[in-house]
Amino acid sequence: MSSMNSSTVMERAEIGRRKRRKTRAILVDAAMRVIAEKGLEAATNAEVFSEAGVSRGTFYNYFETKEDLLKAVADELVDQLNDQINGDTKDIEGAPERMAWTFGRFLQRTKDDPVWARVLLSIAAKNSPLPLGETTQANMARDLQHGRDQGQFTLEVDEVAINIMVGTVTQAMHSTLAGRTGPDHAYHMAKCILLAFGTPGARAAEAAKLARPADF
């Protein structure tokens, strides 16, 4: 009897966890739609829980503030992009090429979806020490070690390399949103990053070409 009761409790707990994950996902999806329609600053929590079809109380069980909600939205959007990048770069064996392609994809997504970029940048500075999320951080650390193993990266400290990459990405996103970038901006920025990581000049110049939109 005790065993059956224990099993029932565990099943109910798992059902509760699934329900919470589902409700949270519904709220995040609703927030994306509201932000896309109203804009980042104008979107309100009330509009989000109304769009999601849940009560005010339910909403605040998941997110205490608008900032909490924006962080969840940004995390979801970045995770989606990282999933796409991982799929699209699975056949790219060279670490410099993979890094350049990823950098260019972030900038292209910024051009294609300014709302996505503004949501991400709005919380990036407050999300230290992981401004672009855990998945992005883990992917960068993996690619950095891969580059060292290939003899293409000589910068030994991950934190330094990640600071260079994240700082460059976020500033380039700001410049892109402001319309201050030319057609080869992503190429030149990717080349500078690779040179900073220690990639030989000729290889850096060639790999950086993958940051150009035409190569997506």
Q: How far apart are the first and last CA of the chain?
A: 60
Confidence of residue 131 (pLDDT cuts 50, 70, 90): low
Residues 48 and 98 occupy one common structural domain:
no
Residues 126 and 187 occupy one common structural domain:
yes
pLDDT in tens, 146-176: 999 999 999 999 989 988 998 898 899 999 9
Confidence of residue 215 (pLDDT cuts 50, 70, 90): very low
pTM of the full structure: 0.74
pLDDT for residue 117: 85
Number of domains in the chain: 2
Angstrom distance (rounded) from CA 159 to CA 98? 19
Q: How many C-beta neighbours within 10 Å does residue 19 have? A: 10
Angstrom distance (rounded) from CA 37 to CA 43? 8
pLDDT in tens, 134-153: 777 888 889 999 999 999 99
Mean pLDDT on 39-56: 91
pLDDT for residue 211: 94
Say if residues 191 and 208 touch (Cβ distance below 8 Å).
yes
139 against 44, higher pLDDT:
44
Domain holding 189: CATH number? Answer: 1.10.357.10
3-state secondary structure of 63: coil
Range of the domain at 23: 1-64
Whole-number average pLDDT of the chain: 86
Number of H helices, E strands in the chain: 10, 0
Residues 108 and 202 occupy one common structural domain:
yes
| Type of residue at 2 | S
Say if residues 99 and 194 touch (Cβ distance below 8 Å).
yes
Angstrom distance (rounded) from CA 77 to CA 116? 7
Residues 38 and 120 occupy one common structural domain:
no
Domain holding 9: CATH number? Answer: 1.10.10.60
Residues 175 and 111 occupy one common structural domain:
yes
Domain boundary among 13, 46, 64: 64
